[in-house]
Amino acid sequence: MQDFAGAFGLAFGLIASGDPDLFEIVGLSMRVSLTALLLSCLIGFPIGALLVVRKFFGRGIVIALVNSMMGFPPVVIGLLVYLALSRAGPLGWLGLLYSPTAMIIAQTLLIAPIVAALSRQVLEALQAEYDEQFRSLGVSRGSAMLALIIDGRYGLVTVALAGFGRAVAEVGAVIIVGGNIEHLTRVMTTAIALETSKGDLGMALALGIILMSIAVSVNLGASALRAVAERQAYA
Amino acid sequence: MPDAAPIVSPGKSDKGPPTPRDRLLPGALRLDGLTLQVAGKTLVDIEKLLLEPRSVTVVMGPNGAGKSLFLRLVHGLIPPTSGWVSWGEVACGEATRSTQAMVFQKPVLLRRSVAANIDFVLRHRAGTRAERRSRCEELLARVGLAGQAEQPARLLSGGEQQRLALARALATRPKVLLLDEPTASLDPASVQMIEQIVLAASAEETKVIFVTHDVGQARRLADDVAFLHHGQLIEHRPAAEFFTSPASEAANAYLAGRIVL
């Protein structure tokens, strides 16, 4: 067993030297999670806005459903995507299993409900303020949804960052549908799990440090944005 | 339409005596048996009311008299429990609302620039970008915000925010302008500016319904006054008559500054 300080030394060495394997893994992680985030925002923001603007029958049940999907276990989502994409599954003919695309699909299914549920909460407060004025102006439902998303932009960025944090740190779903294949589907979390079990703590720790720094800088960025928004009274 | 409409005061803005045809204009309000009940409590109960299409009608009454609810009912923002509201020949609804504009006591401004708040309303209408721009400039100049087009709307002072809300309300050239205590707790300069803009709009044939607490303001603006109390219309008369000799005890007490229970 390597000693603790030695592991840290190795980790910083890998980061400082710009180890190609390390940065390939980081790059794939970012690509998969950012793509999943983009898709989730495209799906989740309009759903959140729709749930706020339309008071349809059964809306309460839909909201409860979306909220409960926030807590969906990633491994179960991984399993479901695996079943759908496996050779015998309904989407098996696409041949996507064990590819970055499969990982993007799994992460999108994981965080789109989070983005939808949180953006509904953010936009609900805005809607309470705008609703009467919009109805007085005769703003159509579509325009109202768009206006809510635009005016709620700072709150929605925080929502997106929460989704990103969840996606990039998630291991269960991507390891099932991606398979942790070196140079193909190995991302930070799956690599950390593997290297730790192999005993290569240097690599694991290097990835862990990068993952943590990403999480911290994402949150700092969110706070900075919030400060800008508040200064302009747009928050 | 029944045509036996009793004629209401011509008002001080002197737009000529009302004619029977006036009842067909989009600013002519007619209420019949209007009630609003919430949780078994009757909040508004107005047997009958006719408003002239071009006058400035000031709605007065103590807190909780149902003035704001009245405004929302005639604008069609809340459905009545029973009764009938129509503007000119058209029943109150989306069609009439689109020819009206409402200014709320607390201005609701978008989290955008001053100009973008106006453009939000103009965009739904026809017109090129250049036309919208010049209309926007004209409106902002009219409410004294010409130099502040690019400022975040929510950083304006209370008075400036309400003037912007008024400019936005006027952007669509409404036939009816509804104002719910728009100058409550504003600086005097903004109050004066808002009153002048409202009177100017009225001079351009816009029907104005102005809810206020302020007796002095009511005297400055009103052609006719509707006095509400406990959700009921106590009296509706020409302003001159109302202020010199109110018929009801409640209005008398209110004008004298006594607490009206």
* pTM listed for this prediction: 0.86
pLDDT at B9 over 50: no
Query: Average pLDDT over chain A, rounded to whole?
Result: 92
User: For residue A131, which residues of chain B lie inside 8 Å, CB to CB?
Assistant: none
Give the start-to-end residue ranges of the domains of chain B: 20-109+173-255
Asked if A147 lies within 8 A of B102 by C-beta distance, the reply is: no
In this model, does residue B24 exceed pLDDT 70?
yes
pLDDT tier for residue B11 given thresholds of 50, 70 and 90: very low
pLDDT of A234 above 80:
no
Contact A147 B152 (CB under 8 A): no
What does residue B231 show for φ and ψ, rounded to 5 degrees?
75, 0
Give the mean model confidence (pLDDT) for residues B219-236: 95
Reply yes or no on whether the pLDDT at A36 is more than 90: yes
Nearest CA of chain A to the CA of B125: how many Å? 11
CB B108 to CB A132 under 8 A? Answer: yes
Q: Does A147 touch chain B (CB under 8 A)?
A: yes
Q: How far apart are CA B99 and CA B97, in angstroms?
A: 5
Interface contact A136-B120, CB threshold 8 A = no
CB contact under 8 Å between B111 and A137, yes or no, is no
Is residue A109 within 8 Å of residue A81, measured between CB atoms? yes
pLDDT band at B252 (very low <50, low <70, confident <90, very high): very high
> What's the pLDDT score for residue B21?
75
- What are A210-233's pLDDT values in tens digits? 999 998 988 888 888 888 888 877
Q: How many residues does chain A have?
A: 235
CATH number of B20-109+173-255: 3.40.50.300
pLDDT higher for A12 or A102?
A102
Contacts B108 to A, Cβ<8 Å? 129-130, 132-133
Are A137 and B77 inside 8 Å of each other by CB? no
Q: Check whether B7 has a pLDDT greater than 50.
A: no
Q: At what angle do helices B158-171 and B114-122 cross, to 10 degrees?
A: 20
**Interface check B77 vs A, CB under 8 A:** yes
pLDDT grade for A2, boundaries at 50, 70 and 90: low
Q: Is residue A233 less than 8 Å (CB to CB) from chain B? A: yes
CB A61: neighbour CB atoms within 10 A? Answer: 9
pLDDT band at A49 (very low <50, low <70, confident <90, very high): very high
Given a contact cutoff of 8 angstroms between Cβ atoms, the answer to whether B166 and B197 are in contact is yes
CA distance A122 to chain B (A): 14
Write out pLDDT tens, residues B126-166.
778 888 999 999 999 999 999 999 999 999 999 999 999 99
For residue B136 the two structure tokens come to 């926007």
For the cut 70, the answer to whether the pLDDT of residue B4 exceeds it is no
d(CA B185, CA B178): 18
Helices (H), ranges, chain B: 67-75, 94-97, 114-122, 129-142, 158-171, 188-203, 215-221, 239-244, 249-255
β-sheet bridge partners, residue B56: B208
In degrees, to the nearest 5, what angle opens at C-alpha A224 toward C-alphas A220 and A229? 145
Judged on CB neighbours under 10 Å (0-12, 13-18, 19+), B212 is buried
What is the pairing mode between strands B29-38 and B41-51? antiparallel
Grade residue B14 by pLDDT with cuts at 50, 70 and 90: low
- Each domain of chain A, given as residue ranges in start order, spans 19-227
Give residue B16's pLDDT band: very low, low, confident or very high (50, 70, 90).
Answer: low
Residue B8 DSSP code? P
- Spell out the residues 6+ positions from residue B26 whose beta carbon is closer than 8 angstroms to its own: B53, B87, B88, B90, B96, B99, B175, B176, B207
Residue-wise pLDDT for B45-78, tens only, equals 999 999 999 899 999 999 889 999 999 999 999 9
First-last CA distance in chain B? 38
A136 touches B: beta carbon within 8 Å: yes
Q: Give yes or no for a contact between B45 and B35, defined as CB atoms under 8 angstroms apart.
A: yes
Q: How confident is the model at residue B111 (pLDDT cuts 50, 70, 90)?
A: very high
User: What is the 8-class DSSP label of residue B20?
Assistant: G
Chain B residues in contact with A155 by the CB 8 A cut-off are none
Nearest Cα to B44, choosing from B209, B233, B179, B251?
Answer: B233
Residue B15 has a pLDDT of 58
Say what the pLDDT of residue B76 is: 94
CATH fold group of domain A19-227: MetI-like fold (1.10.3720)
pLDDT above 50 for B81: yes
Q: What is the pLDDT of residues A100-155, one digit of tens each?
A: 999 999 999 999 999 999 999 999 999 999 999 999 999 999 999 999 999 999 99
Q: Which residues of B touch A234 (CB under 8 A)?
A: 111-112, 152, 154
Residue B87: what are its φ and ψ, rounded to 5°? -120, 120
Q: Is B1 a residue whose pLDDT tops 60?
A: no
Nearest to B164 by CA among B83, B225, B109, B208: B109
Give the span between the Cα atoms of A173 and A73, in whole angstroms: 9
Min mean pLDDT across B19-28, B31-40, B101-110 is at B19-28
